[in-house]
Amino acid sequence: MSNQPLPPNPVPQSELVALQPGAVVSRTLVKAAGGTVTAFAFDTGEALSEHSAPFDAIVLGVEGTAEVTISGAPHGVSAGDILLLPANKPHALRATTPFKMILVMIKA
C-alpha cells in the first residue's frame, strides 16, 4: 500500500494505482478530518468482504468492472460509473474483470 499524495499536475485516474496479480492494491490520495480519498486496484476475482462504515462513501469506477452489493442488492459498476455506499449499510465488492476505482469517504 502506498500513501503518496497527489502530484501538483494532472494525473490520469488509471495511473493512480497499479494492478498486481492476485491482489488488492490501495493508495491513499487524501487523508483529512473530513474524509479520505483512496485509489484501489483489484485483480479479477479479488474482493472486499462485506462490512459497513459509519459514513457515506462514493465509488467512482475508473476502469474494468465489479459487482458491489449493498444490503444484499447487487450493482454492476464500470468505468465512468458512480455509486453511493450509504452509511451503516452492509456492502461488499468483487472485481469481475481487473478493476480500478476511487473511493471517497465523507466523514463530516
Residue 5 is assigned to a structural domain of this protein:
no
CATH number at 84 reads: 2.60.120.10
Print the domain residue range for 97: 13-106
The predicted structure's pLDDT at residue 3 = 54
pLDDT grade, residue 4 (50/70/90)?
low
Is 8 within the bounds of a domain?
A: no
pLDDT exceeds cutoff 60 at 1 = no
CB contact at 8 A, 90 and 50: yes
Q: What's the pTM?
A: 0.91
CA 66, CA 87: separation in Å to the nearest integer?
20
Task: Note whether 94 and 67 are within 8 A (CB).
Answer: yes
The three three-digit cell numbers of residue 100, written as one number: 480500478
* Cell numbers at 56, concatenated: 457515506
Instruction: Quick: pLDDT tens for 68-97.
Output: 999 999 999 999 999 999 999 999 999 999
User: Considering the domain boundaries, does residue 27 fall inside one?
Assistant: yes
The contacts of residue 86 (CB under 8 Å, 6+ apart) are 56, 70
Total domain count for the chain? Answer: 1
